[in-house]
């Protein structure tokens, strides 16, 4: 069982996603955020479920694809992982975006 830590950036990403979608539909914004959060909860039992992020080729930096979003996380050890970003898949991802 793994403990999940949400970084400040990832929380900010979720807020931005909600704010953007809620301009058209608060209901759909809530559904989207819940979908992202619920998918992240799978990592508690299956931390290796995500694929290795191709841009980095680091076995500890992985991602789950959830609709149009990439939930990028880093395995710190066998008990802990950090969710680094929730990133729109249309945007380019580089190491600077994870800080």
Kindly tell me the sign of the dihedral angle through the C-alpha atoms of 95, 76, 16, 41. Answer: positive
Inform me whether the pLDDT recorded for 66 exceeds 90. yes
Residue 98 to residue 56: CA distance in whole angstroms:
11
Tell me the pLDDT tens digit for each residue of 2-52.
999 999 999 999 999 999 999 999 999 999 999 999 999 999 999 999 999
The H or E element containing residue 22 is helix 8-22
Higher-pLDDT residue of 99, 26: 26
Q: Is the CATH number of domain 3-98 3.30.2310.20?
A: yes
pLDDT bracket for residue 88 (50, 70, 90): confident
Domain ranges for the chain, please list them: 3-98
Query: In which band, very low, low, confident or very high, does the pLDDT at 92 lie, cut at 50, 70 and 90?
Result: low
């Amino acid at each position: 069982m793994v403990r999940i830590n949400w970084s400040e950036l990832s929380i900010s990403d979720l807020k931005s996603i909600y704010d953007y979608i809620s301009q058209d539909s608060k209901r759909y914004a809530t559904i989207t955020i819940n979908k992202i959060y619920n998918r992240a909860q799978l990592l508690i039992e299956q931390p290796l479920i995500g694929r290795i992020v191709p841009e980095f080729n680091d076995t500890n930096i992985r991602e789950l694809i959830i609709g149009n979003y990439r939930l990028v996380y880093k395995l710190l050890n066998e008990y802990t992982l950090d969710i680094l970003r929730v990133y729109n898949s249309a945007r380019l991802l580089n190491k600077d975006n994870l800080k």
